[in-house]
Structure 1
Amino acid sequence: MEMLGKIFSRFHPVAWGVIIGTFFARAGFYMTMPYLAIYLHEVKGLSPELIGTILATSFLVGTLASFFGGTLSDRVGRFPVMVVSMLGWAGVFALFSLADAVWAFLVLSALSGLGRNVFEPTARALLTDITPCEQQLSVFNARYFAINLGAALGPLAGVMLGSAHSTLPLLITAGIYAVYGVGVAVLWKVYGEPKRQGSGERVSFAETVRVVFQDKVFGLILLGNLFVYSAYAHIETTLAQYLGSAPGFVDGVQIYTYLLLTNTISVVLLQYPVIHFTKKWSALRALTTGGVLFAAGLWGFGLFDHLFLLILAMIVMTIGEILCFIIGDVIIGQLAPENLRGAYFGAGGFPFLGQSAGPWAGGLLLGWLGFGQGPLVFGILMLLTLLAVPCFVGAQRRYRQEF
Structure 2
Amino acid sequence: MIFKTLFHKAQFHPVAWGVIIGTFLSRTGFFMTLPFLGIYLGKEKGIDPATVGAILAISLLVGTVSSFAGGALSDRLGRYPVMITAMGAWSLVLVGFAFASETWIFFVLSALNGLFRNVFEPTARALLADVTPEDRRTDAFNARYFAINLGGAIGPLIGLKLGAGSSSSLLPFLVSAIIFALYAVLLVVFMLLFKLEAKEKSAVVSINQMARIVFTDKVFLYFLLGNIFVAGAYSHLDTTLSQYIGHDRVEAYSFLFIVNTLAVLIFQYPLARLMKRFSSLAALKIGCLFFGLGLFGFGIFDNLFLLACSMVVFTIGEILCFVVGDVLIGEIAPGHLRGAYYGASGFAFIGQSASAWVGGILLKYLGFDQGPLIFAILMLLTFIAFPFYQRGQHILEQRQKLKVSCEKTTEAIV
TM-score (norm. length: structure 1): 0.95
- Kindly report the root-mean-square deviation, in angstroms, between the aligned alpha carbons of the 2 structures: 1.5
Aligned residue in 1 for 2:170: 167
SS at match of 1:286: helix
Letter in 2 for 1:358: S
Q: Shift of the alpha carbon at 1:84?
A: 0.5
Match for residue 354 of structure 2 among 354, 357, 375: 357
4+ long deviations beyond 2 Å: 6-9, 193-196, 198-209
Match for residue 379 of structure 2 among 376, 382, 385: 382
User: For the Cα contact (< 8 Å) 2:231–2:348, is it kept in 1?
Assistant: yes
Q: Shift of the alpha carbon at 1:208?
A: 3.2
Aligned residue in 2 for 1:22: 23
Letter in 1 for 2:338: R
Aligned residue in 2 for 1:222: 224
- Relative to structure 1, the CA distance from residue 144 to residue 201 in structure 2 (aligned partners, 3 Å threshold; closer, same or farther) is closer
Q: Does 1:136 align with 2:122?
A: no
More off after superposition, 108-117 vs 162-171:
162-171
Letter in 2 for 1:50: T
Q: Does 1:335 align with 2:335?
A: no
Q: Does 1:373 align with 2:370?
A: yes
Identity, % of aligned pairs? 54
Aligned residue in 2 for 1:47: 48
Q: Shift of the alpha carbon at 1:159?
A: 1.0
Q: Distance in 2 between matches of 1:229 and 1:54?
A: 18
Aligned residue in 2 for 1:323: 320
Aligned residue in 2 for 1:35: 36
Q: Distance in 2 between matches of 1:380 and 1:31?
A: 30
Q: Shift of the alpha carbon at 1:19?
A: 0.4
User: For the Cα contact (< 8 Å) 1:130–1:194, is it kept in 2?
Assistant: no
Q: Shift of the alpha carbon at 1:7?
A: 4.5
Letter in 1 for 2:292: A
Q: How does 1:158-237 map to 2 (within 5 A)?
A: 158-165=159-166, 166-196=169-199, 198-199=200-201, 202-237=204-239
Q: Shift of the alpha carbon at 1:132?
A: 1.1
Instruction: After superposition, give the CA deviation of every residue in 1:201-252 in whole Å (9 maximum; x if it has no partner).
Output: 554432332133311000000010100110100000100100133xxxxx51
Letter in 2 for 1:222: L
Aligned residue in 1 for 2:127: 126
Q: How does 1:74-153 map to 2 (within 5 A)?
A: 74-153=75-154
Letter in 2 for 1:170: F
Letter in 1 for 2:343: G
User: For the Cα contact (< 8 Å) 1:79–1:193, is it kept in 2?
Assistant: no
Q: Distance in 2 between matches of 1:388 and 1:123?
A: 26
SS at match of 1:351: helix
- Relative to structure 1, the CA distance from residue 202 to residue 314 in structure 2 (aligned partners, 3 Å threshold; closer, same or farther) is closer
More off after superposition, 330-339 vs 351-360:
330-339
Instruction: After superposition, give the CA deviation of every residue in 1:315-372 in whole Å (9 maximum; x if it has no partner).
Output: 0010111110001011112222222211110111111111101110000000010000
User: For the Cα contact (< 8 Å) 1:74–1:199, is it kept in 2?
Assistant: no
- Relative to structure 1, the CA distance from residue 346 to residue 129 in structure 2 (aligned partners, 3 Å threshold; closer, same or farther) is same
User: For the Cα contact (< 8 Å) 1:199–1:338, is it kept in 2?
Assistant: no
Gaps of 5+ in 1: 246-250
- Relative to structure 1, the CA distance from residue 330 to residue 109 in structure 2 (aligned partners, 3 Å threshold; closer, same or farther) is same
More off after superposition, 76-85 vs 105-114:
76-85
SS at match of 1:235: coil
Letter in 2 for 1:324: C
Letter in 2 for 1:401: Q
Q: How does 1:298-309 map to 2 (within 5 A)?
A: 298-309=295-306
SS at match of 2:347: coil
More off after superposition, 46-55 vs 272-281:
272-281
Q: Does 1:391 align with 2:388?
A: yes
- Relative to structure 1, the CA distance from residue 202 to residue 275 in structure 2 (aligned partners, 3 Å threshold; closer, same or farther) is closer
User: For the Cα contact (< 8 Å) 2:72–2:204, is it kept in 1?
Assistant: no
SS at match of 2:196: coil
TM-score (norm. length: structure 2): 0.92
Aligned residue in 1 for 2:403: none
Letter in 1 for 2:213: V
Q: Shift of the alpha carbon at 1:193?
A: 2.3
Instruction: After superposition, give the CA deviation of every residue in 1:127-177 in whole Å (9 maximum; x if it has no partner).
Output: 111111111111110000000000011111111111011221001111000
Q: Shift of the alpha carbon at 1:85?
A: 0.5
User: For the Cα contact (< 8 Å) 1:74–1:339, is it kept in 2?
Assistant: no
Q: Distance in 2 between matches of 1:207 and 1:233?
A: 29
Gaps of 5+ in 2: 401-414
Q: Shift of the alpha carbon at 1:76?
A: 1.4
Instruction: After superposition, give the CA deviation of every residue in 1:66-122 in whole Å (9 maximum; x if it has no partner).
Output: 111111111111111111111010111011111110110000000000010000000
SS at match of 2:46: coil
Q: Shift of the alpha carbon at 1:378?
A: 0.3
Q: Distance in 2 between matches of 1:140 and 1:129?
A: 12
User: For the Cα contact (< 8 Å) 1:79–1:188, is it kept in 2?
Assistant: yes
* Count of matched residue positions in the alignment of Structure 1 and Structure 2: 394
